[in-house]
Amino acid sequence: MTSQEYNKISKVYQCLTQRFDQSRNYQYDRFYKVYNSQCYIVEGENLEALKHFENLTLRHVYTGEYLESQHFGEDYKNSSLLVVEDGKVLVHAELGFIFLYILIFKMQEGIRKFLDLINELKDRHTGLIRSSDDGRILKMKVYLYDEFIPQFEAIPDFNLIFHLFALTNSNFMERNWDNEVEVYVDKIRKTLETLKIFNFDNINMHF
């Protein structure tokens, strides 16, 4: 995945899910967020990326099995994910979530290798890398993480994965008050498992 493509997709994901900007720059209309067409979130490259979904509904994006398992109304499932009208852009409530999983899908090979390497390092460095009591988080001192960076950087897309996990307020990785790097391994695994609910073949994945 190129950094240019990552930036296009990641920027829309961060905007729609308000990772940083908490200002209310939209109104609600049923299950749509309605933006003024001059809002930065739905202009330029962002709008180009969003238009990949102009002729798609949730029936195109999610598997039938997943849709049957959810209590979605018919209108919610059958409405266009993006509607562009004069002076406004309507964005379906699911689209921020969908853009995150496009990133996960495109970088899944590297993400799986990252998890494998983290677990290998934990086995090799018993005591220096430890699990939380519930096993959902791996923790290591920042200096130790820094020593492992050359190994991490050999993973495909690692710099992009690190940006998504640690620098977008997405809570996959963070630095705690004890000067440790925390990796939310259970959340990462479950995110990978969630890829199975999508029909990515129906999405134009060239951004």
d(CA 104, CA 170): 12
* Residue 79 confidence (pLDDT): 96
Q: pLDDT category, 22, cuts 50, 70, 90?
A: low
Question: pTM (2 decimals)?
Answer: 0.94
Closest CA to 82 of 106, 51, 104: 51
144, two tokens: 């130790």
pLDDT in tens, 113-146: 999 999 999 999 988 999 998 989 999 999 999 9
> Does pLDDT of 2 surpass 70?
yes
163 burial type by CB count under 10 A (0-12 exposed, 13-18 middle, 19+ buried): middle
Across 15-38, average pLDDT: 88
> Does pLDDT of 176 surpass 70?
yes
Residues 167 and 126: beta-carbon distance below 8 Å:
no
Query: Where are the extended beta strands (E) located within 26-172?
Result: 27-29, 32-36, 82-85, 88-92, 130-131, 138-141
Across 164-176, average pLDDT: 95
Q: Which domains does the chain have, with CATH numbers?
A: 3-104+195-202 (no CATH), 107-193 (1.10.10)
pLDDT in tens, 76-122: 999 999 999 999 999 999 999 999 999 999 999 999 999 999 999 99
Across 176-198, average pLDDT: 97
